[in-house]
Structure 1
Amino acid sequence: MRKYADKVKQAPTTHVAAFLFLHEISAIVPLVAIWGSMYYFDYLPFVPENVLDQGSAFIQRICDRYTWLPEASPKFVAQGCVAYGLVKLAVPLRLLFSFAAAPWLANKTTTLVKYIGGRM
Protein backbone atom coordinates (compact mmCIF):
# COMPACT_ATOMS: atom_id res chain seq x y z
CA MET A 1 0.00 0.00 0.00
CA ARG A 2 2.86 2.34 0.81
CA LYS A 3 4.21 1.99 -2.72
CA TYR A 4 0.91 3.16 -4.21
CA ALA A 5 0.50 5.97 -1.69
CA ASP A 6 3.92 7.34 -2.63
CA LYS A 7 3.00 7.31 -6.32
CA VAL A 8 -0.26 9.12 -5.62
CA LYS A 9 1.64 11.77 -3.63
CA GLN A 10 3.98 12.34 -6.57
CA ALA A 11 1.20 12.81 -9.15
CA PRO A 12 -2.18 13.27 -7.42
CA THR A 13 -3.91 14.97 -10.35
CA THR A 14 -3.02 12.16 -12.74
CA HIS A 15 -4.23 9.50 -10.31
CA VAL A 16 -7.51 11.28 -9.60
CA ALA A 17 -8.11 11.84 -13.31
CA ALA A 18 -7.34 8.19 -14.04
CA PHE A 19 -9.73 7.05 -11.30
CA LEU A 20 -12.54 9.30 -12.56
CA PHE A 21 -12.00 8.22 -16.16
CA LEU A 22 -12.07 4.52 -15.25
CA HIS A 23 -15.09 4.97 -13.01
CA GLU A 24 -17.09 6.65 -15.79
CA ILE A 25 -15.99 4.20 -18.47
CA SER A 26 -16.94 1.31 -16.17
CA ALA A 27 -20.46 2.78 -16.10
CA ILE A 28 -20.95 3.80 -19.74
CA VAL A 29 -19.68 0.64 -21.42
CA PRO A 30 -21.81 -1.80 -19.37
CA LEU A 31 -24.88 0.45 -19.64
CA VAL A 32 -24.70 0.51 -23.42
CA ALA A 33 -23.83 -3.20 -23.61
CA ILE A 34 -26.66 -4.33 -21.31
CA TRP A 35 -29.24 -2.02 -22.87
CA GLY A 36 -28.18 -2.96 -26.38
CA SER A 37 -28.24 -6.68 -25.56
CA MET A 38 -31.73 -6.48 -24.08
CA TYR A 39 -32.94 -4.53 -27.11
CA TYR A 40 -31.25 -6.87 -29.60
CA PHE A 41 -32.56 -10.04 -27.95
CA ASP A 42 -35.97 -8.45 -27.27
CA TYR A 43 -35.69 -9.24 -23.56
CA LEU A 44 -37.24 -7.43 -20.64
CA PRO A 45 -37.47 -8.74 -17.09
CA PHE A 46 -40.92 -8.44 -15.54
CA VAL A 47 -41.94 -4.83 -15.14
CA PRO A 48 -45.54 -4.00 -14.15
CA GLU A 49 -47.61 -2.54 -17.00
CA ASN A 50 -48.53 0.63 -15.09
CA VAL A 51 -44.83 1.34 -14.46
CA LEU A 52 -44.16 1.00 -18.18
CA ASP A 53 -47.03 3.35 -19.02
CA GLN A 54 -46.04 5.99 -16.46
CA GLY A 55 -42.38 5.83 -17.40
CA SER A 56 -43.16 6.07 -21.10
CA ALA A 57 -45.44 9.08 -20.57
CA PHE A 58 -42.77 10.82 -18.49
CA ILE A 59 -40.01 10.18 -21.04
CA GLN A 60 -42.28 11.28 -23.88
CA ARG A 61 -43.09 14.57 -22.10
CA ILE A 62 -39.37 15.26 -21.67
CA CYS A 63 -38.66 14.39 -25.30
CA ASP A 64 -41.52 16.62 -26.50
CA ARG A 65 -40.43 19.53 -24.31
CA TYR A 66 -36.81 19.46 -25.45
CA THR A 67 -37.37 17.84 -28.89
CA TRP A 68 -34.67 15.26 -28.21
CA LEU A 69 -35.95 11.96 -29.56
CA PRO A 70 -38.76 10.53 -31.58
CA GLU A 71 -41.37 8.57 -29.65
CA ALA A 72 -39.67 5.86 -27.60
CA SER A 73 -41.49 2.62 -26.95
CA PRO A 74 -42.29 1.81 -23.32
CA LYS A 75 -40.32 -1.41 -23.64
CA PHE A 76 -37.20 0.42 -24.87
CA VAL A 77 -37.42 2.86 -21.97
CA ALA A 78 -37.90 0.03 -19.48
CA GLN A 79 -34.89 -1.82 -20.89
CA GLY A 80 -32.83 1.32 -20.36
CA CYS A 81 -34.08 1.63 -16.79
CA VAL A 82 -33.21 -1.98 -16.03
CA ALA A 83 -29.74 -1.55 -17.55
CA TYR A 84 -29.20 1.61 -15.50
CA GLY A 85 -30.29 -0.19 -12.32
CA LEU A 86 -27.91 -3.07 -12.96
CA VAL A 87 -25.01 -0.66 -13.51
CA LYS A 88 -25.89 1.12 -10.25
CA LEU A 89 -25.95 -2.22 -8.42
CA ALA A 90 -22.40 -2.83 -9.64
CA VAL A 91 -21.02 0.39 -8.07
CA PRO A 92 -18.96 -1.46 -5.42
CA LEU A 93 -17.29 -3.58 -8.12
CA ARG A 94 -16.76 -0.51 -10.31
CA LEU A 95 -15.12 1.32 -7.42
CA LEU A 96 -12.79 -1.60 -6.70
CA PHE A 97 -11.86 -1.84 -10.36
CA SER A 98 -11.26 1.91 -10.63
CA PHE A 99 -9.10 2.03 -7.49
CA ALA A 100 -7.10 -0.99 -8.59
CA ALA A 101 -6.51 0.14 -12.17
CA ALA A 102 -6.00 3.88 -11.55
CA PRO A 103 -2.25 3.59 -10.69
CA TRP A 104 -1.62 1.58 -13.86
CA LEU A 105 -3.51 4.08 -16.06
CA ALA A 106 -1.85 7.05 -14.34
CA ASN A 107 1.57 5.49 -14.96
CA LYS A 108 0.81 4.81 -18.62
CA THR A 109 -0.58 8.31 -19.09
CA THR A 110 2.45 9.92 -17.45
CA THR A 111 4.80 7.82 -19.58
CA LEU A 112 2.92 8.78 -22.74
CA VAL A 113 2.96 12.48 -21.88
CA LYS A 114 6.71 12.36 -21.19
CA TYR A 115 7.31 10.54 -24.46
CA ILE A 116 5.25 13.03 -26.47
CA GLY A 117 6.84 15.97 -24.65
CA GLY A 118 10.32 14.66 -25.39
CA ARG A 119 9.57 14.33 -29.10
CA MET A 120 8.37 17.91 -29.53
Structure 2
Amino acid sequence: MKRLIGNKNALECTKRNGKYWTFKINENAEVEVNIDGQIKLIKPEEVSAQILMKLKQSAENVIRKPIKNIVLTVPAYFDEDQKKATTKAAEIAGLHVLELISEPSAAAYAYGFDQQKFSDTNL
Protein backbone atom coordinates (compact mmCIF):
# COMPACT_ATOMS: atom_id res chain seq x y z
CA MET A 1 0.00 0.00 0.00
CA LYS A 2 2.85 2.38 0.64
CA ARG A 3 3.53 2.47 -3.11
CA LEU A 4 -0.02 3.67 -3.70
CA ILE A 5 -0.99 5.81 -0.71
CA GLY A 6 -1.07 9.47 -1.70
CA ASN A 7 0.82 8.68 -4.91
CA LYS A 8 -0.14 10.95 -7.82
CA ASN A 9 1.41 8.41 -10.22
CA ALA A 10 -0.51 5.43 -8.83
CA LEU A 11 -1.61 4.24 -12.28
CA GLU A 12 1.97 4.21 -13.52
CA CYS A 13 3.05 2.37 -10.38
CA THR A 14 0.25 -0.17 -10.88
CA LYS A 15 1.28 -0.80 -14.47
CA ARG A 16 4.89 -1.40 -13.44
CA ASN A 17 4.30 -3.44 -10.29
CA GLY A 18 0.72 -4.75 -10.48
CA LYS A 19 1.73 -8.05 -12.03
CA TYR A 20 3.60 -8.92 -8.81
CA TRP A 21 0.73 -8.10 -6.44
CA THR A 22 -1.82 -10.58 -5.12
CA PHE A 23 -4.60 -8.00 -5.28
CA LYS A 24 -6.19 -5.95 -8.06
CA ILE A 25 -6.18 -2.17 -8.40
CA ASN A 26 -8.73 -0.31 -10.52
CA GLU A 27 -8.11 2.83 -12.60
CA ASN A 28 -8.89 5.05 -9.59
CA ALA A 29 -6.12 3.40 -7.53
CA GLU A 30 -8.67 1.62 -5.35
CA VAL A 31 -8.03 -1.90 -4.10
CA GLU A 32 -10.57 -4.54 -5.10
CA VAL A 33 -11.38 -6.84 -2.18
CA ASN A 34 -13.80 -9.74 -1.92
CA ILE A 35 -15.88 -9.50 1.27
CA ASP A 36 -18.47 -12.24 1.68
CA GLY A 37 -18.63 -12.81 -2.08
CA GLN A 38 -19.02 -9.14 -2.93
CA ILE A 39 -16.32 -7.06 -4.60
CA LYS A 40 -15.73 -3.81 -2.73
CA LEU A 41 -13.41 -0.95 -3.64
CA ILE A 42 -11.24 0.43 -0.86
CA LYS A 43 -8.84 3.36 -1.05
CA PRO A 44 -5.21 2.76 -0.03
CA GLU A 45 -5.73 5.07 2.98
CA GLU A 46 -8.54 2.82 4.22
CA VAL A 47 -6.40 -0.30 3.83
CA SER A 48 -3.61 1.38 5.80
CA ALA A 49 -6.15 2.46 8.42
CA GLN A 50 -7.27 -1.16 8.85
CA ILE A 51 -3.66 -2.22 9.36
CA LEU A 52 -3.11 0.58 11.90
CA MET A 53 -6.28 -0.43 13.77
CA LYS A 54 -5.00 -3.99 14.08
CA LEU A 55 -1.58 -2.78 15.26
CA LYS A 56 -3.25 -0.45 17.76
CA GLN A 57 -5.38 -3.30 19.11
CA SER A 58 -2.36 -5.59 19.45
CA ALA A 59 -0.33 -2.91 21.25
CA GLU A 60 -3.22 -2.10 23.60
CA ASN A 61 -3.50 -5.80 24.47
CA VAL A 62 0.16 -5.83 25.45
CA ILE A 63 0.36 -2.59 27.44
CA ARG A 64 -3.24 -2.79 28.73
CA LYS A 65 -3.83 0.93 28.15
CA PRO A 66 -5.67 2.78 25.41
CA ILE A 67 -3.53 4.30 22.67
CA LYS A 68 -4.59 7.61 21.15
CA ASN A 69 -1.38 9.48 20.24
CA ILE A 70 1.31 7.98 18.03
CA VAL A 71 4.51 8.74 16.19
CA LEU A 72 4.49 7.17 12.73
CA THR A 73 7.38 6.29 10.48
CA VAL A 74 7.28 6.83 6.75
CA PRO A 75 9.76 5.95 4.01
CA ALA A 76 12.39 8.62 3.45
CA TYR A 77 11.24 9.17 -0.15
CA PHE A 78 7.61 10.05 0.75
CA ASP A 79 6.48 13.42 -0.54
CA GLU A 80 4.00 15.71 1.26
CA ASP A 81 0.93 14.15 -0.38
CA GLN A 82 1.99 10.70 0.75
CA LYS A 83 2.66 11.95 4.27
CA LYS A 84 -0.78 13.61 4.40
CA ALA A 85 -2.44 10.42 3.19
CA THR A 86 -0.60 8.43 5.87
CA THR A 87 -1.77 10.89 8.53
CA LYS A 88 -5.32 10.59 7.16
CA ALA A 89 -5.11 6.79 7.47
CA ALA A 90 -4.12 7.16 11.12
CA GLU A 91 -7.06 9.51 11.72
CA ILE A 92 -9.44 6.98 10.12
CA ALA A 93 -8.00 4.43 12.57
CA GLY A 94 -8.82 6.76 15.48
CA LEU A 95 -5.24 7.79 16.14
CA HIS A 96 -3.70 11.24 16.54
CA VAL A 97 -0.31 11.59 14.84
CA LEU A 98 2.07 13.60 17.00
CA GLU A 99 4.87 13.42 14.47
CA LEU A 100 5.94 11.69 11.27
CA ILE A 101 9.57 10.61 11.14
CA SER A 102 11.50 8.94 8.37
CA GLU A 103 12.30 5.25 8.68
CA PRO A 104 16.09 5.81 8.73
CA SER A 105 15.68 8.26 11.62
CA ALA A 106 13.46 5.78 13.46
CA ALA A 107 16.14 3.12 13.05
CA ALA A 108 18.74 5.47 14.52
CA TYR A 109 16.47 6.27 17.47
CA ALA A 110 15.83 2.58 18.08
CA TYR A 111 19.56 1.84 17.98
CA GLY A 112 20.21 4.64 20.48
CA PHE A 113 17.48 3.41 22.84
CA ASP A 114 18.83 -0.11 22.59
CA GLN A 115 22.28 1.19 23.53
CA GLN A 116 20.67 3.17 26.41
CA LYS A 117 22.38 6.39 25.34
CA PHE A 118 19.28 8.48 25.99
CA SER A 119 18.55 9.43 29.57
CA ASP A 120 15.40 11.51 29.00
CA THR A 121 12.81 9.02 27.75
CA ASN A 122 9.10 8.46 28.22
CA LEU A 123 9.41 4.70 28.60
Question: Normalising to structure 2: TM-score of the pair?
Answer: 0.26
Higher RCO, Cα 8 Å, sep 6+? 1
Larger radius of gyration: 1
- The structure whose residues are more often strand, as a share, is 2
- The structure whose residues are more often helix, as a share, is 1
Question: Normalising to structure 1: TM-score of the pair?
Answer: 0.26
